[in-house]
Amino acid sequence: MVERRDFPEVATSGAVEVNDEKAATTDANSMLLAGAGIGVIGVVGAVLGSAVCPVCVVAAPTLLGVGAYRRWRASRPKRR
């Protein structure tokens, strides 16, 4: 027998809405960590291989910026 699981509602844009403050902070932290990791990989590749990864140049600052923005939004008090 297949067990039914309830999944979070998906918005029309395809993104899962995060309503919980802790979940929003966790999501922001994971984006910051991913951005830092990609940045480190890009720097190591540039130093050791003398080549710059174009994906690293775009992805690292984007993930860091989005993660910082989401962290800032999660820390703000909710307006009602």
pLDDT tens per residue across span 17-40:
545 788 888 999 999 999 999 999
Write the CB contacts of 45 (distance below 8 Å, at least 6 apart in sequence): 51, 52, 53, 56
Question: Where does the chain have alpha helices with state H?
Answer: 21-49, 54-75
Tell me whether residue 54 is in a domain: yes
Residue 9 lies in a domain: no
What are 49-64's pLDDT values in tens digits? 988 888 889 999 999 9
- In the prediction, which pLDDT does 21 show? 80
Euclidean distance between the first and the last CA atom of the chain, given in angstroms as a whole number: 44
- % of the chain at pLDDT higher than 90: 49
Confidence of residue 12 (pLDDT cuts 50, 70, 90): very low
The residue range of the domain holding 50 is 21-75
The reported pLDDT for the residue numbered 62 is 95
Residue 36 lies in a domain: yes
Is residue 29 a part of any domain in this protein? Answer: yes
Question: Does residue 10 sit in helix, strand or coil?
Answer: strand
CB 74 within 8 A of CB 31: no
| 7 assigned to some structural domain | no
